[in-house]
A and B are shown apart, each in its own frame.
Chain A
Amino acid sequence: MAVNAVLEIEDNVLNTLNAFLRGLLERGVVDDLLVPQTTLAGDNVVQTLVHDVAHLSAMNPMAPVLPVNSATLVSKLTITGAPRKVGVVLRTCELRALVELVKLQQATLENVVLIGVDCLGTYEVTDYATLIADGIDPTAELLAQIKDGPPRPHDGYNFRAACQMCEYPTPDAPGVHAPDIHLGVLGTDGGVLVTVRDDLAEPLELTPASIPAGRKAVVEALVRERAAERDRRFAEFRARVTDVSGLLAQFSTCIRCHNCMIACPICYCRECIVRTTTFDHEPRQYFDWAERKSIIRMPVDTLIFHLTRLNHMSTSCVGCGMCESACPNDIPVATIFRAVGEKVQAIFDYVPGRSLEDELPLATFREDELTELGEK
């Protein structure tokens, strides 16, 4: 059960959110807070783990930039159990990835207070830094649009591809594991929505209130717009990739740097098969291949890298798009993985990040399913 309340806005939305988050530390609801703060240089906003309430002055949970998917950070903090009560401020894609990591036994939620925030969209890290250098406040610009929405990016810029097609801008959406605390700004006017697990209402001195009237329409309009963009990109991808030549064209510029894999929150393996000696070959092997096929691309195994990643993680792909942001050569990895992931997840009616109870498709089976497979 959850309690809805509205935080009165004192001077601006961001300060109101920050005051609430500071209160979690001050009231001892959490001992530490994982919260995004502006770096000293000012051109990036990164997660910080803060124990001392005096070090929260640069907080910005609404900054439209996502340098890493924080699910990987929560994994580092909790994999063998969080030693103290920690509050973690997450966007929906981070929250959903974290749910997957918990099920993959790479994170634990004991002693963790999940704090979900509405996401207004995120820029590439370089775009965010450029906007700052140009004297623009990207956060304020978007927060000025929350009342009527959907928030538009700065002229001449766009959000990350994954954000443009993200149908989960808010963590209170159906199909998302409910956070312990949700801070909602979309569709609010003069007060921020805070939804908390009911046992947190009292320590936080929250008075139950109704959800701001305008919120539903603004969120729905945003989700509709994003879903339409998703469908457009999926259709475009499927039209381009109708045969293997089309697929090769997609990965023509791949240099196999593995950045997509390293940035992926779901790819948790300490030792990925594509980085082991499994794919090292004796010199002779390359010459044999060249002789048999007349020509081979070097380095070899480019496609198999992506295919293997899809086989291993597409059931849990939350579409955060860190892969595409990490790609130095602008391969539309997020669209490819999401489009394929959608079909794979549909086989098992699985929605990554939806619930801790839904079993990972690769970790379970049903005797009476897929019975046409294996038969003549």
Chain B
Amino acid sequence: MPEFEPRIVAFLCNWCTYTGADLAGTSRIQYPPNVRIIRLMCSGGLDPVYVTKALLEGADGVLIGGCHPGDCHYQSGNYKARRRVAILKTILEQLGFDPDRVWLRWISASEGQYFADTVTEMVAALKEKGPNPVRELWGI
């Protein structure tokens, strides 16, 4: 059987993390191809509905990337995202999901290496966890 390859859906803010991911690419930094990136204008604009949708559709992990605290292009979007992620993780945990499948990371436009490292680390962590159990359930 081929090794389990986790699928990660990443919601990245336009100004920092998406640009950081872009830098990883233009710098030809190698990282696992397990991540599907969705670009947002701001992590603060991410409705948790889309994170849960990804998880319920069988994504093994969701990565949310935003600017470092204090660096938000819109002043405070990332602080609001942080509250939403805290709420989301609590809800997931209470309802029997593994909250550690959702990662929030602050990655700036200059941190291409850190972006690649984060994806590498997340892929390893998800391989350890195995596939999202939701994949085997159809009554979602």
Contacts and interface: CB of A to CB of B under 8 A. Distances in A.
B49 to A, nearest CB: 5
B87 A241 contact: no
Contact of B47 (A273, A315, A343): A273
Contacts of A296: 138, 140
Contacts of B52: 304, 307-308, 311
A37 interface: no
Interface string B67-93: 001100000101110111111101101
A371 B70 CA distance: 12
A304 B137 contact: no
Contacts of B91: 307, 310-311, 314, 340, 344
Interface string B123-140: 000000000011101111
A374 B82 contact: yes
A374 B104 contact: yes
A302 B53 CA distance: 11
Contact of B140 (A241, A248, A315): A248
Contacts of B133: 243-244
B41 interface: no
A362 interface: yes
A179 B85 CA distance: 34
Contacts of A366: 79
Interface string B41-63: 00000011100110010100000
B33 to A, nearest CB: 19
B138 A362 contact: no
Contacts of B137: 244-245, 248
A276 B96 CA distance: 28
A295 B49 contact: no
Interface in A111-152: none
A252 B139 contact: yes
B26 interface: no
Contacts of B135: 293
Nearest to A346: B90
Interface string B97-140: 10000001110000000000000000000000000011101111
Interface in A288-302: 293-297, 300, 302
B20 interface: no
B94 interface: yes
Q: What range describes how many residues of B lie at the interface?
A: 35 or more
B66 interface: yes
Give the secondary structure class of B's interface. Answer: helix
A255 interface: no
B64 to A, nearest CB: 9
A374 B69 contact: yes
A311 B88 contact: yes
A204 to B, nearest CB: 43
Contacts of A245: 96, 137
Contact of A297 (B70, B76, B85, B138): B138
A311 B79 contact: no
A315 B95 CA distance: 16
A296 B56 CA distance: 12
Given A296-B138, A297-B139, A311-B88, A244 B97 contact: yes
A304 B90 contact: no
Contacts of A304: 49, 52-53, 56, 140
Nearest to B69: A367
A81 interface: no
Contacts of B78: 374
Interface of B: 47-49, 52-53, 56, 58, 66, 69-70, 76, 78-80, 82-88, 90-91, 93-97, 104-106, 133-135, 137-140
Interface of A: 238, 241-248, 252, 273, 293-297, 300, 302-304, 307-308, 310-311, 314-315, 339-340, 343-344, 347-348, 361-362, 365-367, 369-371, 373-376
The 4 closest A-B pairs by CB, nearest first: A365-B79, A311-B48, A295-B138, A243-B96
13 contacts: A247-B96, A248-B139, A252-B139, A273-B49, A307-B52, A311-B91, A314-B91, A339-B94, A344-B87, A344-B90, A365-B79, A370-B83, A371-B69
